[in-house]
């Protein structure tokens, strides 16, 4: 195969295979460019970028479809850097939906003036682009790129209010932490890549399986050092992910950033960023511990030599892809041929134990710490920062369960993963609603201290009822949607028979009651302060309607919960064979 | 009326009423109260309609009267709700002799306590909305047969109750409200874990067609290799009694059902409440407004007992067998401790609260006396008597404790204190009220001829076969009960003229108060004189539950299949006389 044929093949792959599956990202890129271009046109700075962003995200959402179709197969794009499967589709749809709701939220709360709007929306969309890549990554290089592309705009967003000192402090803290953990993650990736000879996740899983099998056969002595380095590499990779998830002990940025940044940015960080990080966690955790479904070879008969993907298609079996008599196969060590998927899967059992244990430990600590630390907070944004930390813990629990279940029953493992997607979907409304209330209250009464919410129920009973419902949903009380999220997560743990983690999760639910309830208690039961400036915030207003629109799904979801469940089960359906 | 409509109406009429109330103007306090009262009345009438004889018409929604000996679940409503590959939940409702009297009690007490709410002046609209939501939650628990639905309704009750105590309560209301919330949530989380345990261990493919039909479930149309889990309570009961699915070892050498039983049981006894998890109750009662105390004591505590008889024993019989001593011990300790604590109280309402702890101990004890052992040829008569006594005690206590709290409330409304040492001589000032109060307190004490007697004597007699020592203690608690009730009556109603604060406010009972107190006293007398009014509905279903347990014990504990002729002739006992039907156990033995 000469150079031209090679180029031809790449061209074909890029234009006809990869780019069509890359639509939403392209739409986001185009929107960003458009916003920047309009600004430099004469008179463009009087134009509100909100509408461009809104239309752009609408297109992205439309392009993200079909995200509930069973027809989406697992398909590696851009020579294995990214993967397009229902999981990708779900999270791209989720992120685009979130972006639409978020844009409307920002417009209503008026956080950005016309002057700044291109800056703000460019950063938001830029971050979203990175998050889409995180959800779709199939390659540790893309993992790193996605994390960085999502993080860098977030640093700026945290400090978007230039005049506020604590805002700038928050941004700096965030950036320093981010840089530090990114460095550690990169080191971890290099360790893993160096030892396994690839950073393409499916290839890594195969190599890992071989290595573990060899270690087992040799009685455990041979590869002791290598295994140690592997474990270290995995740990370092986990540091980067834990930072994005704000998991303990890499959460220190979170309360400060949430207190310093505006409620709008908090909503962005707590929902979109966390969702992408969870999607990525599942990608990495599953990628390292399971042998995925053979990717569907898409039409072109021209073989695309894996440039990034060293062994593009190592799974043989009955897969038709072994027509590839190319470099990929030549480089494949012979032992791989003899390793059937079942053998490989069972060889990966120690890796699963390690990964599941690591995630479970992080989840338990994160959840408990977040809930305990939230107890003493007086600032509502700081309280919700700890609440998001705690919820990150809850959301990581089913990931641990899923990894455990891979070895037992793939169908159950997928159900466990689907519960993460459900949780994220419900979490969107809970946190967007909570931060919307906070932002609107900031606009009307100029305070974000819990003490200033005292007796709010006299002034705006409707808003307090909605906020109380959102907070109780965060506790996880039936019949609110937060309970359904928690129920599915706990069900995954029960299915994996992880009783200790389940008990910790249950205990945490009880602990979390205290601080959410305190906010409700202050609003509903404390007497109103005498010196409060008069204000009006009724549900019959645009902000009020937005709050209702966020609360209503939480109340009625229990009636048609199976719709969401089917969607998420589909999303998880191709992660394992 | 079809069961679907009738049962759904009973559950959701209060909720719909609450929704409509949201559109009432805040200022129209009286209109809101009248509307709420009407909603509770309509709900009560709907349940009363169910009590009418069905005359063989299964679609009528009425309750097949006990003469027809229908012990099974009736009026089953089964609609698919959530059906995905991961979960299967149904909108599954039904009623039997265990739940029906409690449903009727709930709507009855709700009606009366709404009447008692007339002097609530603060935030009337919010109060009425929460009140109705609470009623929906309680009725939902009693009527749902799907474990998930059960759990949802169980937790739905929490929020309204929290606010009802926390906003409308006494001086320490916020502390009491959060304590109540916390305790119940802990119980709820334990239940949730148990529910998930049972769900993932269950597999209805192992059931025989007969058992499937009894459990109102159908297998999926396609044969599957993977287990078919279920939340259906009836199916879980069949699985627990006829298969070994819950018997594998889980943790610390104990089986899954041992843990599930323990978690469920702890969740329920927090609600009952039993010592040592009872401490929320005195606080909640003291701080709660009178009508909420009536609901709390009259109905909410019964949910715990209902859960034990509906879930714990039928689903986890083996664990119930192993833990019978634990259950009985908890019951007896609660009885003794509650009675002694009541003796020591200075606060009138706190005293009544501790008397609830003591009286609900009878319920736990009556349910726990597993008498069907190999030693007496699996004769379940004593247990039947205990279980029937426990169920009767729940109804009786629902009447008498709601009445007692209302009596305390009437006095408190007038003199604004509850200090027992400052009362005395109320008889002279409020003769009619005092007469009713004495009657209701005697009902609580268990005076023969009043409702409290039947439950207590059944339980006490049944314990004899289980443990003579416990029976002696149980019997002697009666003396303690008499002591604190009589002493209270003496300190409050008798003695020299009232000298405490606000003496001028001691006006005779008003017609509204009389209209609430009189039905309670009337019911206390009716149930005391003619207990069959309750047993007619209740006994067949309770006896069936016990027979199932006894049959299970005979099958599994004897180590050999039951002989065909094992149908033991029950010795003539009080249980046999009072409870009209000992259901034939043949069917269970064939299983």
* Spatial distance between the Cα atoms of A276 and B254, rounded to a whole number of angstroms: 41
Which pLDDT tens digit goes with each residue over B433-467?
899 999 999 998 888 889 889 989 999 888 888 88
**% of chain B residues with pLDDT over 70:** 91
Question: Is there a contact between B196 and A517 if contact means CB atoms under 8 Å apart?
Answer: no
From chain B, pick out residues whose CB is under 8 angstroms from the CB of A367.
none
Using a CB–CB cutoff of 8 Å, tell me whether A456 touches chain B.
no
> Residue A396 to residues A274, A389, A455, B465: CA-CA distances in angstroms?
11, 11, 36, 52
Average pLDDT of the segment spanning B551-562: 69
Using a CB–CB cutoff of 8 Å, tell me whether B461 touches chain A.
no
Nearest in space to B73 (alpha carbons), one of B57, B53, B93: B93
Task: Decide: A205 and A292 in contact? Cβ < 8 Å.
Answer: yes
B86, B166, B182: residue with CB nearest A415? B86
* Spatial distance between the Cα atoms of A358 and A344, rounded to a whole number of angstroms: 21
Mutate to test the interface with B, among A401, A409, A506, A524 (most CBs of B within 10 A): A506
Give the angle subtended at the CA of B58 by the CAs of B56 and B59, to the nearest 5°. 130
Query: Which chain A residue shows the shortest CA-CA distance from B184?
Result: A510
Average pLDDT of the segment spanning B7-35: 90
From chain B, pick out residues whose CB is under 8 angstroms from the CB of A499.
193, 250-251
pLDDT recorded at residue B566: 39
Using a CB–CB cutoff of 8 Å, tell me whether B84 touches chain A.
yes
Token pair 């090679």 is found at A6
Quick one: which H or E segment has residue B356?
Answer: helix B348-368
Using a CB–CB cutoff of 8 Å, tell me whether A323 touches chain B.
no
- Tally of residues, chain B: 591
Task: Decide: A568 and A425 in contact? Cβ < 8 Å.
Answer: yes
pLDDT recorded at residue A40: 86
**Helix, strand, coil: what percent of chain A each, to 5?**
75, 0, 25
From chain A, pick out residues whose CB is under 8 angstroms from the CB of B181.
513, 517
Question: Is there a contact between A565 and B178 if contact means CB atoms under 8 Å apart?
Answer: no
pLDDT recorded at residue A301: 39
Residue A302 has pLDDT above 70, yes or no: no
Q: Count of alpha carbons within 13 Å of B549, Cβ hemisphere only?
A: 35
**% of chain A residues with pLDDT over 90:** 47
Burial A25-48 (b: 16+ CB within 10 A, else e): bebbbebbebbeebbeeeeeeebb
Task: Decide: A492 and A402 in contact? Cβ < 8 Å.
Answer: yes
Token pair 């409330």 is found at B409
Cα of first residue to Cα of last residue in chain B, in angstroms, is 35
> Which positions ≥6 away from A422 have C-beta within 8 Å?
A484, A485, A488, A564, A565, A568
Report yes or no on A577 lying in a domain.
no
ipTM confidence score:
0.88
Residue A209: pLDDT band with limits 50, 70, 90: confident
State the nearest Cα–Cα gap between A478 and chain B, in angstroms: 5
Using a CB–CB cutoff of 8 Å, tell me whether A307 touches chain B.
no
Q: What is the pTM of this model?
A: 0.90
Burial B2-34 (b: 16+ CB within 10 A, else e): ebbebbbbbbbbbbebbeebeebeeeebeebbe
Q: Kindly report whether the peptide bond that precedes residue B85 is cis, defined as omega within 30 degrees of 0.
A: no
Residue A318 has pLDDT above 70, yes or no: no
Q: Any bridge partners for residue B74, and if so which?
A: B95
Report yes or no on A576 lying in a domain.
no
Write out the DSSP string of B242-308.
Answer: H--TT-SEEETTEEHHHHHHHHHHHHHHHHTT-TTS-THHHHHHHHS-HHHHHHIIIIIHHHHHHHI
A418, A491, A525: residue with CB nearest B196? A491
From chain A, pick out residues whose CB is under 8 angstroms from the CB of B182.
510, 513-514
The mean predicted confidence, pLDDT, of chain A is 85
Which pLDDT tens digit goes with each residue over A344-377?
778 888 888 999 999 999 999 999 999 999 988 9
Residue A523 has pLDDT above 80, yes or no: yes
Task: Decide: B440 and B407 in contact? Cβ < 8 Å.
Answer: yes
* Spatial distance between the Cα atoms of A90 and A79, rounded to a whole number of angstroms: 22
State the nearest Cα–Cα gap between A74 and chain B, in angstroms: 21
Residue A114: pLDDT band with limits 50, 70, 90: confident
Which pLDDT tens digit goes with each residue over A75-87?
888 888 998 888 8
Which pLDDT tens digit goes with each residue over A419-445?
999 999 999 999 999 999 999 999 888
Average pLDDT of the segment spanning B469-480: 90
What are A355's two structure tokens? 């990964």
Q: Kindly report whether the peptide bond that precedes residue A66 is cis, defined as omega within 30 degrees of 0.
A: yes
Average pLDDT of the segment spanning B521-538: 90
Residue B591 has pLDDT above 50, yes or no: no
pLDDT recorded at residue A281: 94
Average pLDDT of the segment spanning B58-77: 71
Token pair 């509906």 is found at B310
From chain A, pick out residues whose CB is under 8 angstroms from the CB of B254.
none
Question: Is there a contact between A478 and B151 if contact means CB atoms under 8 Å apart?
Answer: yes
Write out the DSSP string of B391-456.
Answer: HHHHHHHHHHHHHHHHHHHHHHHHHS--BGGG---HHHH-HHHHHHHHHHHHHHHT-TTSHHHHHH
Q: Any bridge partners for residue A83, and if so which?
A: A76
* Spatial distance between the Cα atoms of B148 and B169, rounded to a whole number of angstroms: 32
Question: Is there a contact between A499 and B158 if contact means CB atoms under 8 Å apart?
Answer: no
Residue B65: pLDDT band with limits 50, 70, 90: low
Residue A315 has pLDDT above 60, yes or no: no
The mean predicted confidence, pLDDT, of chain B is 85
Task: Decide: B183 and B270 in contact? Cβ < 8 Å.
Answer: yes
Using a CB–CB cutoff of 8 Å, tell me whether A411 touches chain B.
yes
From chain B, pick out residues whose CB is under 8 angstroms from the CB of A397.
none
Residue A410: pLDDT band with limits 50, 70, 90: confident
Burial B443-460 (b: 16+ CB within 10 A, else e): bbbbbeebbbbbbbbbbb
Using a CB–CB cutoff of 8 Å, tell me whether B159 touches chain A.
yes
Question: Is there a contact between A495 and B200 if contact means CB atoms under 8 Å apart?
Answer: yes
pLDDT recorded at residue B377: 66
Handedness of CA B304, B306, B311, B313 (dihedral sign): positive
* Spatial distance between the Cα atoms of A345 and A333, rounded to a whole number of angstroms: 18
Task: Decide: A463 and A439 in contact? Cβ < 8 Å.
Answer: no
B82, B197, B250: residue with CB nearest A561? B82
Q: State the total domains in chain A.
A: 1
Range name among A280-284, A545-549, B141-145, B208-212 with the lowest pLDDT average:
B208-212
pLDDT recorded at residue B587: 38
Average pLDDT of the segment spanning A54-72: 78
Residue A338: pLDDT band with limits 50, 70, 90: low
Which pLDDT tens digit goes with each residue over B461-473?
888 888 888 889 9
pLDDT recorded at residue B164: 92
According to DSSP, the β-strands at B254-255 and A75-77 are unpaired
> Which positions ≥6 away from B264 have C-beta within 8 Å?
B190, B191, B194, B307, B308, B311, B312, B315, B316
Query: Which chain A residue shows the shortest CA-CA distance from B263?
Result: A503
> Residue B560 to residues A216, A239, B265, B374, B499: CA-CA distances in angstroms?
48, 59, 30, 12, 72
Question: Is there a contact between A483 and B152 if contact means CB atoms under 8 Å apart?
Answer: yes
Residue B577: pLDDT band with limits 50, 70, 90: very low
Residue A316 has pLDDT above 70, yes or no: no
**Helix, strand, coil: what percent of chain B each, to 5?**
70, 5, 25
Query: Which chain A residue shows the shortest CA-CA distance from B189?
Result: A506
Task: Decide: B533 and B527 in contact? Cβ < 8 Å.
Answer: yes
Quick one: which H or E segment has residue A84?
Answer: strand A82-84
Write out the DSSP string of A141-207.
Answer: HHHHHHHHHHHHHHHHHHT-STT-HHHHHHHHHHHHHHHHHHHHHHHHHHHHHHHHS--BHHHHHHH
10 Å CB burial of residue B386 (0-12, 13-18, 19+) is buried
Q: Count of alpha carbons within 13 Å of A418, Cβ hemisphere only?
A: 29
Using a CB–CB cutoff of 8 Å, tell me whether B83 touches chain A.
yes
Question: Is there a contact between B174 and A521 if contact means CB atoms under 8 Å apart?
Answer: yes
Question: What is the domain range of residue A364?
Answer: 3-310+323-571
Residue B563 has pLDDT above 50, yes or no: no
pLDDT recorded at residue A185: 94
pLDDT recorded at residue B583: 40
pLDDT recorded at residue A313: 41
Give the angle subtended at the CA of A196 by the CAs of A226 and A311, to the nearest 5°. 160
What are B407's two structure tokens? 């009596």
Average pLDDT of the segment spanning A65-71: 61
* Spatial distance between the Cα atoms of B138 and B303, rounded to a whole number of angstroms: 8
- Tally of residues, chain A: 577
Residue A394 has pLDDT above 90, yes or no: yes
Range name among A158-167, B34-43, B104-113, B253-262 with the lowest pLDDT average:
A158-167
From chain A, pick out residues whose CB is under 8 angstroms from the CB of B156.
478-479
pLDDT recorded at residue B63: 72
Task: Decide: A277 and A194 in contact? Cβ < 8 Å.
Answer: no
Give the angle subtended at the CA of A57 by the CAs of A51 and A62, to the nearest 5°. 130
Cα of first residue to Cα of last residue in chain A, in angstroms, is 33
Using a CB–CB cutoff of 8 Å, tell me whether B483 touches chain A.
no
Residue B422 has pLDDT above 90, yes or no: no
């Amino acid at each position: 195969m000469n150079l031209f044929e090679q180029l031809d093949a790449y061209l074909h792959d890029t234009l006809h295979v990869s780019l069509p599956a890359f639509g939403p990202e392209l739409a986001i890129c185009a929107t960003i460019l458009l916003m920047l271009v309009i600004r430099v046109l004469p008179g463009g700075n009087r134009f509100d970028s909100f509408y461009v962003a809104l239309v752009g995200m609408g297109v992205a959402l439309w392009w993200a479809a079909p995200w509930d179709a069973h027809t989406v197969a697992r398909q590696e794009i851009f020579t294995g850097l990214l993967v397009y499967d229902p999981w990708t589709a779900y999270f791209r749809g989720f992120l685009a939906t979130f972006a639409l709701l978020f844009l409307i939220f920002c417009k209503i709360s008026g956080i950005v003036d016309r002057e700044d709007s291109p800056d703000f929306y460019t950063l938001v969309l830029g971050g979203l682009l990175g998050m889409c890549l995180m959800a779709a990554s199939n390659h540790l290089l893309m993992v790193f790129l996605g994390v960085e592309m999502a993080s860098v705009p977030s640093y700026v967003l945290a400090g978007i209010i230039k005049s506020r000192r604590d805002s700038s402090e928050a941004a700096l803290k965030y950036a320093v932490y981010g840089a530090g953990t990114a460095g550690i993650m990169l080191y971890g990736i290099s360790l893993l890549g160096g030892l396994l000879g690839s950073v393409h996740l499916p290839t890594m899983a195969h190599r890992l399986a071989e290595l573990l099998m060899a270690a087992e056969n040799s009685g455990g002595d041979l590869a002791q050092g290598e295994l140690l380095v592997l474990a270290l590499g995995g740990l370092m990779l986990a540091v980067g992910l834990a930072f994005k998830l704000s998991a303990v002990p890499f959460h220190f940025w979170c309360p400060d950033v949430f207190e310093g940044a505006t409620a709008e940015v908090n909503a962005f960080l707590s929902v979109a960023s966390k969702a992408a990080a969870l999607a990525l966690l599942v990608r990495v955790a599953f990628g390292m511990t399971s042998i995925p479904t053979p990717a569907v070879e898409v039409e072109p008969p021209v073989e695309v030599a894996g440039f990034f993907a060293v062994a593009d298609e190592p799974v043989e079996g009955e897969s038709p892809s072994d027509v590839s008599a190319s470099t990929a196969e030549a480089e494949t060590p012979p032992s791989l041929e003899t390793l059937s998927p079942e053998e490989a899967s069972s060889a990966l059992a120690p890796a699963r134990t390690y990964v599941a244990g690591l995630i479970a430990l992080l989840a338990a600590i994160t959840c408990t710490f977040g809930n305990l630390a939230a107890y003493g907070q007086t600032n509502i944004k700081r309280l919700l920062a700890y609440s998001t930390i705690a919820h990150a813990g809850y959301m990581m629990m089913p990931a641990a369960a899923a990894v455990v279940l891979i070895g037992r029953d793939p169908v159950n493992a997928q159900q466990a993963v689907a519960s993460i997607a459900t949780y994220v979907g419900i979490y969107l409304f809970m946190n967007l609603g909570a931060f919307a209330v906070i932002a609107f209250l900031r606009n009307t009464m100029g305070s974000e201290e819990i003490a200033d919410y005292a007796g709010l129920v006299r002034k705006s009973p409707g808003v307090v009822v909605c906020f109380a419902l959102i907070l109780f949903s965060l506790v996880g009380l039936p019949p609110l949607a937060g309970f359904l999220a928690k129920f599915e997560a706990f069900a995954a743990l029960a299915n994996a028979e992880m009783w200790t983690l389940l008990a910790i999760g249950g205990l945490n639910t009880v602990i979390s009651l205290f601080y959410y309830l305190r906010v409700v208690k202050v609003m509903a039961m404390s007497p109103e302060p005498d010196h409060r400036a008069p204000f009006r915030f009724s549900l019959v207003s645009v902000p009020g309607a937005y709050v209702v629109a966020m609360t209503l799904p939480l109340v009625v979801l229990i009636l048609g919960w199976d719709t969401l469940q089917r969607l998420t089960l589909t999303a998880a359906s191709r992660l394992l064979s | 009326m079809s069961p679907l409509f009738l049962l759904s109406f009973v559950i959701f009429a209060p909720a719909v009423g609450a929704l409509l109330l949201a559109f009432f103007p805040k200022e129209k306090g009286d209109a809101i109260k009248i509307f709420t009262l009407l909603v509770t009345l309509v709900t009560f009438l709907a349940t009363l309609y169910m009590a009418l004889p069905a005359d063989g018409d299964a679609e009528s929604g009425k309750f097949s009267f006990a003469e027809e000996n229908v012990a099974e679940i009736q009026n089953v409503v089964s609609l698919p709700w959530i059906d995905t590959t991961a979960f299967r939940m149904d909108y599954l409702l039904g009623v039997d002799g265990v739940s029906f009297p409690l449903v009727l009690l709930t709507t009855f007490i709700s009606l009366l306590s709404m009447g008692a709410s007339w002097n609530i002046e603060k935030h009337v609209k919010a109060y009425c909305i929460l009140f109705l939501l609470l009623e929906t939650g309680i009725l939902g628990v009693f009527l749902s047969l799907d474990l998930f639905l059960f759990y949802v309704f169980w937790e739905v009750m929490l929020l309204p109750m929290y606010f009802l105590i926390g906003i409308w309560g006494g001086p320490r209301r916020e502390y009491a409200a959060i304590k109540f919330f916390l305790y119940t949530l802990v119980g709820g989380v334990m239940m949730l874990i148990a529910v998930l345990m049972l769900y993932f261990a269950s597999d209805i493919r192992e059931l025989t067609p007969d058992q499937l039909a009894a459990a109102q479930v159908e297998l999926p149309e396609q044969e599957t290799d993977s287990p078919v889990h279920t939340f259906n309570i009836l199916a879980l009961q069949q699985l627990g009694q006829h298969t070994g699915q819950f018997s594998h070892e889980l943790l610390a050498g104990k089986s899954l059902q041992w843990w599930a039983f323990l978690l469920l049981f702890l969740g329920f006894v927090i609600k009952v409440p039993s010592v040592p998890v009872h401490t929320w109750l005195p606080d909640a009662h003291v701080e709660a407004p009178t009508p909420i105390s009536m609901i709390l004591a009259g109905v909410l505590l019964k949910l715990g007992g209902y859960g034990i008889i509906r879930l714990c024993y039928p689903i986890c019989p083996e664990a119930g067998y192993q833990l019978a001593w634990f259950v009985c011990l908890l019951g007896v300790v609660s009885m003794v401790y509650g009675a002694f604590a009541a003796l020591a109280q200075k606060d009138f309402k706190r005293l009544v609260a501790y008397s609830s702890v003591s009286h609900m101990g009878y319920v736990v004890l009556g349910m726990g006396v597993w008498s069907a052992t190999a030693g007496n040829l699996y004769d379940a008569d004593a247990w039947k008597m205990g279980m029937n006594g426990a169920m009767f005690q729940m109804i009786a206590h629902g009447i008498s404790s709601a009445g007692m709290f209302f009596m305390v409330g009437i006095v408190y409304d007038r003199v604004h204190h509850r200090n027992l040492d400052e009362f005395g001589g109320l008889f002279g000032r409020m003769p009619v009220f005092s007469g009713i109060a004495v009657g209701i307190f005697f009902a609580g004490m268990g005076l023969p001829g009043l409702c409290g007697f039947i439950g207590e004597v059944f339980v006490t007699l049944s314990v004899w076969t289980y443990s003579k020592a416990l029976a002696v203690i149980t019997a002697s608690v009666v003396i303690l009960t008499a002591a604190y009730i009589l002493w209270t009556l003496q300190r409050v109603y008798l003695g020299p003229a009232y000298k405490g604060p606000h003496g001028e406010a001691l006006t005779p009972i008003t017609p509204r108060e009389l209209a609430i107190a009189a039905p309670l006293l009337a019911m206390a007398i009716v149930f005391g004189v003619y207990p069959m009014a309750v047993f007619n509905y209740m006994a067949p279903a309770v006896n069936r539950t016990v027979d199932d347990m006894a049959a299970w014990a005979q099958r599994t504990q004897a180590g050999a299949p039951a002989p065909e002729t094992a149908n033991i002739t029950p010795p003539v006992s009080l249980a046999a006389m009072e409870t009209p039907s000992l259901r034939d156990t043949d069917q269970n033995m064939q299983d």
